[in-house]
Amino acid sequence: MTYSEFIKKYARHPHYKAPRGNVLNAKSWQAEAPLRMLLNNLDEEVAEDPEHLIVYGGTGQAARNKASVLKMIEMLLELEEDQSLLVQSGKPVGIIPTHTRAPRVLIANSNLVPEWANWEHFNQLKEKDLIMYGQMTAGSWIYIGSQGILQGTYETFAACGEKYFNGDLKHKLLVSGGLGGMGGAQPLAATIAGATFLGADVNPARIEKRLQTRYIDKMTYSYEEARDWALEAKEMEMPVSIGLVSDIGDLLEKLLKDGIIPDVVTDQTSAHDPLHGYIPDGFSLAEAEKLRKNNPVLYKEKSLKSMARHVGFMLEMQSKGSITFDYGNNLREFAKQGGEPDAFNYKGFVPEFIRPQFCEGKGPFRWAALSGEPDDIFETDRALIEHFPDNKKMISWIQQAQEKVAFQGLPSRICWLGMGEREKAGLIFNQLVKNGKLKAPVVIGRDHLDCGSVASPYRETEGMIDGSDAISDWPLLNLLANTSSGATWVSFHHGGGVGMGYSQHAGMVLLVDGSENAEENIKRVLRNDPALGVIRHADAGYEKAEEVAHKFSLKI
């Protein structure tokens, strides 16, 4: 197939589709894998807005512009096994000679010198087409749709039930905002955890997409209808999810006026970006877009004030008994800037629920079937259930995911695995490919939201016991470790999840093709990647991490 034929079949903007099957288009699977995952990120089944190359998070892109996509495809198709493609904020900038064990793609997105690391300077550069916002897995080509954050959201909600509600969320009402590419996982995660879910989003298309992919059960434009559905479902202990087309602040205000205090309140609006993400209350989407273009300064001012109002209602619900926590979108910081002095009076989800798992090297382990065959994922599911019989939580998760999760783009799966487990799972998958039980190779990756790959003081590293929240040496060490260990492509981003100036984080993806090389890479990458999380937390003084470090002979 010629380059032009490939583009016509798989990359006619904005209609992108990853090739399927076991026939190579590139010169090796090491180049074919990132090629397919780039196109998969932009597939309309997966991406929020393929027209603008936006994958999720309001502005998180897989590539800087259409020309960059075409050039990256061209370069990946011709990439040799001893070369590496360099990508600077979504634009291919060169191919360098490396070696067969080096990553085939080296990606850096949105990185700015600290003095200039803010949205204002970023947007000036973006207007000149010099940079793009890569979010986390958008610009590192390992986004797998809402499932990618689904289990992490489930783990958080389930931990909330265990900590505050005697084990589960049955008969509980969970209210949140944001139903886009990340927040869209909330309704299904909540119902799997046993809760009744009521969520708001001003963009009806986002809720409609969640309906189509079975992540949400009901949709309405009527507050009264949504309220009554939610109260009935809660009373009957029905794990039903409801999406209301509304500003989240308006929803919270109306619930307070009606004397309805949810059991749990959180948020996943695009509050990491007050200009291009969050929609101020009182504005339609069209009105917001007009103001954003005509007066961005006023837009941001209104956005910050809306966030302050939003958080004010969350704090009022907290004072009346709601378990309230931040879900890592920088809402509290921008609400504080907007005039809410007590914005940080509720904790983030990591110190509240997730840090003990990080101390064990646990985090979001995900994989995608390059064959495009759902049966390949089901085969890996069966293998994990067989080889991890004592991991009842993982087995339960996989069984529920098989029943309730619709694939978006290339079939994929995610489950949280820890130190030792990731390496074991990778070797199992490699054997499945080698024995022909899978129809093509798979790729293994993760969210950047992981135990040792992020410095984010308002999210993953909030409240570290040694005060090291903002030290970003750790994600840099993670990047270096994965690069030298044999990951197939690696990435380093700035600002994912919480916005410019507030985080730095590293990503990695590993090809599993049944070869001896893959086996050796798995033993290094899938050991060293979670090991950075254990080491990072052991160094901070967490006793559990110190125990795990000793168990796996990690030198501290």
DSSP 70: H
| CATH tag for 147-346 (out of 3.40.50.970, 3.40.1190.20, 3.40.50.10730, 2.50.20.20) | 3.40.50.10730
CATH of domain 355-551: 3.40.1770.10
Q: Where in the chain is the domain with CATH 3.40.50.10730?
A: 147-346
Count of CB atoms within 10 A of residue 67's CB?
A: 12
Q: Is 415 one of the catalytic residues?
A: yes
Whether residue 555 has pLDDT greater than 80: no
Percent of the chain with pLDDT over 90: 92
Percent of the chain with pLDDT over 70: 100
Range with lowest mean pLDDT among 95-104, 124-133, 178-187, 537-546: 178-187
* Distance in angstroms (rounded) separating the CA atoms of residues 397 and 144: 17
Looking at residues 265-280, what average pLDDT do you find? 93
Give the rounded distance of the alpha carbon of 242 from its chain centre. 22
The predicted-structure confidence for 500-511, as pLDDT tens digits, reads as follows: 999 999 999 999
At 182 the pLDDT is 80
CB 69 within 8 A of CB 11: yes
CB 510 within 8 A of CB 426: yes
The dihedral of CA 367, 368, 373, 374: what is its sign?
positive
Whether residue 134 has pLDDT greater than 90: yes
Q: Where in the chain is the domain with CATH 3.40.1770.10?
A: 355-551
* Distance in angstroms (rounded) separating the CA atoms of residues 361 and 417: 8
Catalytic residue among 160, 359, 415, 451: 415
Whether residue 207 has pLDDT greater than 80: yes
CB 455 within 8 A of CB 471: yes
Whether residue 556 has pLDDT greater than 80: no
Q: Is 94 helix (H, G, I), strand (E, B) or coil?
A: strand
Name the average pLDDT for the chain. 96
Could you write out the DSSP letters of every residue in 195-243?
-EEEEEES-HHHHHHHHHTTS-SEEES-HHHHHHHHHHHHHTT---EEE
Q: Is 0.85 surpassed by the pTM of this model? A: yes
